[in-house]
Amino acid sequence: MNRADLARAIYDVSHLTGTFTLRSGVVSNQYFDKYRFESRPDLLRTIAEAMAPAVPEGTEMLAGLELGGVPLATMLSQVTGIPTLFVRKEAKTYGTCQLAEGADIDGRRLTVVEDVVTSGGQVVISCGDLRARGAIVEHALCVIDRESGGPEALADIGVELRPLFTMTELTA
């Protein structure tokens, strides 16, 4: 599937109109319901194949953020052969008490994987949490950048965001 067809498929499957409060607190009249493209195995695989070239060289593990980044990172792992971690919003308080499940992260070069980035708030928090546990985090990937300050917020902490599409591209 070419880039324009993929953009159209994502838009057709996931674009909703109405009144939506985003994680950032901003109210929007359009919303991309990422679970609608993440729950479609054919589309999820095509998205992962399109994202694969954006994975930085030297990435040791893909860090899928809870919840939407997990299926993307898993499929991207299938496409690239790079192991995946599952990153919680906060560490468990029982069992292994891990923030990142799947492997030890201390000293490892991770690329964070998220579905949709608006202000970048959760990605910034998660990058900080991973770094506090010894991970090297310099890059993040997402399917959709809503162009609402996410890349700038991540750049402020030394993380480059590599979106597959911007909101402008999807709504064009």
Helices (H), 15-160: 34-38, 41-51, 69-80, 121-132, 150-155
As for how many domains the chain has, the answer is 1
Per-residue pLDDT of 20-54, as tens digits, reads 998 778 899 999 999 999 999 999 999 999 999 99
Q: Is the pTM of this model over 0.85?
A: yes
Is residue 87 one of the residues assigned to a domain? Answer: yes
Q: What is the structure's pLDDT at 70?
A: 97
Task: Please check whether residue 149 lies inside any domain of the structure.
Answer: yes
- Give me the residues paired with residue 119 across strands: none
Q: Which amino acid is at 23?
A: R
pLDDT-derived band at 172 (thresholds 50, 70, 90) equals: confident
Residue 116 lies in a domain: yes
Using CA atoms, how far apart are residues 57 and 55, in angstroms rounded to an integer? 7
Q: Considering the domain boundaries, does residue 138 fall inside one? A: yes
Structure tokens at 73: 């990172």
Task: State yes or no: pLDDT of 163 exceeds 90.
Answer: yes
Digit-coded pLDDT (tens) for 64-84: 999 999 999 999 999 999 999
Dist CA 83 CA 131 (whole Å): 18
Confidence class for position 93, pLDDT limits 50, 70, 90: confident
Kindly state the tokens that stand for 13.
């499957």
Q: Is the dihedral of CA 55, 135, 99, 61 positive or negative?
A: positive
Residue 7 located in a structural domain: no
Asked if pLDDT for residue 116 goes beyond 90, the answer is yes
71 φ/ψ angles, rounded to the nearest 5 degrees: -65, -35
Residue 165 lies in a domain: yes
Q: Which two tokens stand for residue 118?
A: 């608006």
